[in-house]
Amino acid sequence: MFSIETSFKKSFWDNLIAKYQHSSSGKSIWQLCNSFIPFIIIWGLMYLSLDVSYWLTLLLALPAAGFVVRIFIIQHDCGHGSFFKSRRANDTWGMICSIFSLTPYHHWRKKHAIHHASAGKLEKRGIGDIYTMTVDEFLQQSKWARLKYRLYRNPIILFIVIPFILFVILHRFPFPSSKNLKNLHPTVYYTTLVILALSAGLIWLIGWQAFLLVQLPITFVASSTGTWLFYVQHQFEDTYWSNDNSWDYTLAALKGSSYYKLPKVLQWFTGNIGFHHIHHLSPKIPNYHLEKCHKASPVFQEGPILTLRSSFRSMFLRLWDEKQNKLISFHHFKRLQLETTGNQLGRRKKI
């Protein structure tokens, strides 16, 4: 019987994933066609629907946002160099996708590479992922710092407010703190200029009001969906985090990344990214081979599985408990605090 904990030899994993680490030009081109063309058509239909009913416009925004997410997954694969064999083709289409996803390609690619190299490392939290405090760290914070963290981890703030601000505003400028990405800062501005030019052209054609009425709901839904996907892929109760000296790449991939088992239509729109444990084990596998690789060996079924229903419980997990090695909610945290206080009072009475 296979075991994630015992099968650490590099050759073992290489044999399992080797035949899936290749791109198919035909499949890649087909994905470009069935992602970009429908999105452009739906965008046009949303504009035409403004003369019918804005409720119809908002309804059409849902599949349009789904195609934006799918386009981002293509950009994601290009960033890993897995979508095409040619690096030039990957970079070209990655930059084209970035205009639709509102995410600067080269800058994001570098940060995402850091995320893959450090996912599951307690010392590297917050680099390319959603920042999470440990219980001990939270206890050491001031009341103001605790309040800020609680607000940050509030589902409305984390999945609705922050994503929109991030994709619309913050992605337009490089973060001053990202010194190791300084050489890529110009690419952020270039992407912003192209997005502004495209937006200006559309505004000239249809007017600023129509443009905003169409584009804003798409961006709103797509940014929230993308953030949720990224969150749930690593933020679940029995995820994996470890210190540098005991961190293991394979465990971080197969136990620290979820298999998000989505309905087929959502799996399609999200470009198979739900097979995230496979992706972290080998980022060189293009999205259209992830499901095949997942089904190829029983060992891949041993990792954490989240369904659409069970995943929503993850949004209330806020702190990493190093003693229990799991994420806990603030409600669980309060219960632990009461138990600790009760034990301390019990000891005092005995004394």
* Share above pLDDT 90 across residues of the chain, in percent, rounded to a whole number: 68
CA distances from 288 to 33, 93, 220 (A): 14, 17, 27
Confidence of residue 2 (pLDDT cuts 50, 70, 90): very low
Alpha-carbon distance 275 to 298, whole Å? Answer: 14
Among 117, 119, 111, residue whose Cα is nearest residue 255: 119
Which residues, listed in sequence order, are joined to residue 150 by a DSSP beta bridge? none
- Residue carrying the six token digits 């570098």: 110
| Average pLDDT of the segment spanning 174-197 | 82
Alpha-carbon distance 303 to 313, whole Å? Answer: 18
- Residue carrying the six token digits 């290489």: 14
| Average pLDDT of the segment spanning 228-238 | 92
210 and 50 in contact (C-beta within 8 Å)? yes
CA distances from 2 to 25, 223, 299 (A): 34, 38, 5
Least confident of 35-49, 209-223, 240-254: 240-254
- Residue carrying the six token digits 């804005």: 54
What SS3 string covers 159-215? HHHHHHHHHHCHHHCCCCCCHHHHHHHHHHHHHHHHHHHHHHHHHHHHCHHHHHHHH
- Calculate the dihedral angle through the C-alpha atoms of 39, 42, 43, 49, rounding to the nearest 10 degrees: -170
- Residue carrying the six token digits 């749930």: 232
Question: How confident is the prediction for the chain on average, in pLDDT?
Answer: 89
Among 107, 100, 112, 40, residue whose Cα is nearest residue 76: 112
> Residue 350's pLDDT is what?
53
Q: Write the pLDDT tens digit of every residue in 99-134.
A: 999 999 998 998 898 889 888 888 888 776 788 999
CA angle (188 as vertex; 213, 171 as ends), nearest 5: 45
**Statement: residue 348 has pLDDT above 70:** no
SS3 of 136, please? Answer: helix
| Average pLDDT of the segment spanning 289-318 | 89
> What's the burial of 243, exposed, middle or buried (CB within 10 Å: 0-12/13-18/19+)?
exposed
In the structure encoding, which two tokens stand for residue 199, read together?
Answer: 């937006």
Give the number of other Cβ atoms within 10 Å of residue 34's Cβ: 13
**Statement: residue 351 has pLDDT above 60:** no
In the structure encoding, which two tokens stand for residue 121, read together?
Answer: 């490392």
| Average pLDDT of the segment spanning 194-223 | 97
Confidence of residue 11 (pLDDT cuts 50, 70, 90): low
> Residue 282's pLDDT is what?
92
Which residues, listed in sequence order, are joined to residue 305 by a DSSP beta bridge? 259
> Residue 326's pLDDT is what?
92
* Share above pLDDT 70 across residues of the chain, in percent, rounded to a whole number: 92
Higher local confidence (pLDDT), 253 or 228:
228
| Average pLDDT of the segment spanning 279-285 | 93
